[in-house]
């Protein structure tokens, strides 16, 4: 049985490769590429640290759609560098709203900042609707028979 044309062309052109069944050019496979490649199912974890001290440089709604945690740690405490970022906190609301299931989520800020206080007050109704609870930075966290102040959840 002869090989079909598409199969032959993908093997005979070493400059092209397959990513999730889609032909790509290695030069265009950078994250900034316009090629839309499905990333797969979401990942469920107990505890997730919001990357880069909750800076908007690395975290967007897609992070919260893909990384579904029972607890998210917000450790930013540098207003001059936009940490924590209001945009990231808003991205949590946007991402969580697309989960399709109303799982309880707890946000653990490790510092009491103006950004987190304002966000909490301005979006409190949406947080309740999405089943998101925000701990005070002075809260105590109990995990696996151990308790400690929330501010100690630094990485």
Which pLDDT band, with edges at 50, 70 and 90, does 7 fall under? very low
Provide the pLDDT for residue 32: 41
Which pLDDT band, with edges at 50, 70 and 90, does 57 fall under? confident
Q: Say if CB 84 and CB 92 are below 8 A apart.
A: no
* Positive or negative: CA dihedral 23, 28, 31, 33: negative
What is the number of alpha carbons within 13 Å of residue 52 lying toward its C-beta? 11
- Residue 155's CB is within 10 A of a number of other CB atoms, namely 7
Provide the pLDDT for residue 100: 87
Q: What pTM value is reported for the model?
A: 0.65
Q: What are the residues whose beta carbons fall under 8 Å from the beta carbon of 116, sequence distance 6 or more?
A: 74, 84, 89, 109, 134, 137
């Amino acid at each position: 049985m002869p090989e079909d044309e598409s199969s032959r062309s993908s093997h005979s052109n070493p400059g092209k490769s397959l990513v999730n069944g889609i032909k790509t050019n290695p030069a265009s496979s950078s994250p900034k590429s316009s090629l839309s490649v499905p990333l797969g199912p979401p990942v469920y974890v107990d505890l997730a640290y919001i990357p880069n001290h909750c800076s908007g440089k690395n975290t967007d709604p897609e992070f919260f759609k893909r990384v579904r945690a029972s607890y998210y740690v917000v450790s930013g405490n540098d207003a001059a560098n936009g940490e924590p970022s209001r945009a990231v906190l808003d991205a949590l609301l946007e991402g969580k709203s697309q989960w399709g299931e109303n799982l309880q989520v707890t946000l653990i800020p490790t510092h009491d900042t103006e950004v987190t206080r304002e966000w909490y007050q301005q979006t409190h109704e949406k947080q309740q609707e999405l089943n998101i609870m925000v701990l005070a930075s002075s809260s105590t966290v109990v995990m696996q028979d151990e308790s400690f102040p929330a501010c100690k959840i630094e990485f």
